[in-house]
Amino acid sequence: MRILIVEDELKIAQSVAAALVAANYTVDAVSDGEEAWFRGDTENYDLVILDLGLPKMDGLSVLKRWRTAERTMPVLVLTARGAWMERVEGIDAGADDYLVKPFQIEELIARVRALIRRSVGQGSALLTAGGLAVDTRQMRIQMGGVPVAVSPLEYRLISYLIHHKGRVVPPTELIGHLYGDDDARDANALEAVVTRLRKKLGQDLIETRRGFGYIVSDLRA
Ligand code: CA
């Protein structure tokens, strides 16, 4: 899952980024409205954390432009304490949720998890498919009731596929959601991660649809 942080206060941006990385999300961060608009318009994020008071273009304008252009990723707006009008305007402009500064980082992470789940139609923090159970709160995986140790990248990959259970996910989409700006992105590396996961989770769980992508589903071959 890949998240864009838009925040011009460096300390907040850094602490939010650190907490998201610790929670195993891939994170990009920008500090002005124009760059934010461009990134959200051209990259596929699973969620955006958007401060409203930003240089170059304010957060509300950024959000309105995205929604007008039918960019539908969930957006969590950050607002100043007492600025209730901002919150109303934010929700009217298409924000999915908001947090008032200063906030507890644990609350931010919980809301991020819930928003991402809701955006793909998953109600519970425990996601299951074909014997696999992914606990998105504890970042733990079980297969047939047995805990399985996975690397952060392996976790991100299986977590993305199970969030999108029943849909074939193209490799380009997976790469876009697993890796940040500074990481190497290539399809062979992705295939290697899938191979490692199959060794740990069984050969049938992640299906390859040649020429289309990967799918995790409830229906077992
Ligand atoms: Ca600000």
Residues within 5 A (CB) of ion ligand 1: 8, 51, 53
Residue 100 Cα, ligand 1 centroid: separation in angstroms? 12
Task: Summarize the confidence of residues 52-57 as an average pLDDT.
Answer: 96
Residue 178 has pLDDT above 50, yes or no: yes
Q: What is the pLDDT of residues 139-151, one digit of tens each?
A: 999 999 999 999 9
Residue 91 Cα, ligand 1 centroid: separation in angstroms? 18
Fold of 126-220: Arc Repressor Mutant, subunit A (1.10.10)
Residue 29 Cα, ligand 1 centroid: separation in angstroms? 13
| Identical topology for domains 2-119 and 126-220 | no
Residue 17 Cα, ligand 1 centroid: separation in angstroms? 16
pTM given for the model: 0.86
Q: Which residues contact 54 (CB under 8 A, 6 or more apart)?
A: 6, 8, 31, 32, 33, 36, 62
Residue 31 Cα, ligand 1 centroid: separation in angstroms? 9
Higher pLDDT, 30 or 188: 30
- Assigned CATH for 2-119: 3.40.50.2300
- The token pair at 118 is 């809701």
Residue 61 Cα, ligand 1 centroid: separation in angstroms? 14
pLDDT tier, 221 (very low <50, low <70, confident <90, very high otherwise): very low
pLDDT in the model for residue 35? 98
Task: Summarize the confidence of residues 149-167 as an average pLDDT.
Answer: 95
Task: Summarize the confidence of residues 186-195 as an average pLDDT.
Answer: 90
Residue 213 has pLDDT above 90, yes or no: yes
Q: What is the pLDDT of residues 2-30, one digit of tens each?
A: 999 999 999 999 999 999 999 999 999 99
What sign for the dihedral angle of Cα 193, 197, 202, 206? negative
pLDDT in the model for residue 185? 75
Q: Is 11 helix (H, G, I), strand (E, B) or coil?
A: helix
- Would you mind telling me the total number of residues written for the chain in this entry? 221
CA–CA dist 130, 142 (Å, integer): 11
Delimit the domains of the chain by residue range: 2-119, 126-220
Residue 202 Cα, ligand 1 centroid: separation in angstroms? 47
User: Mean pLDDT, the chain, as a whole number?
Assistant: 92
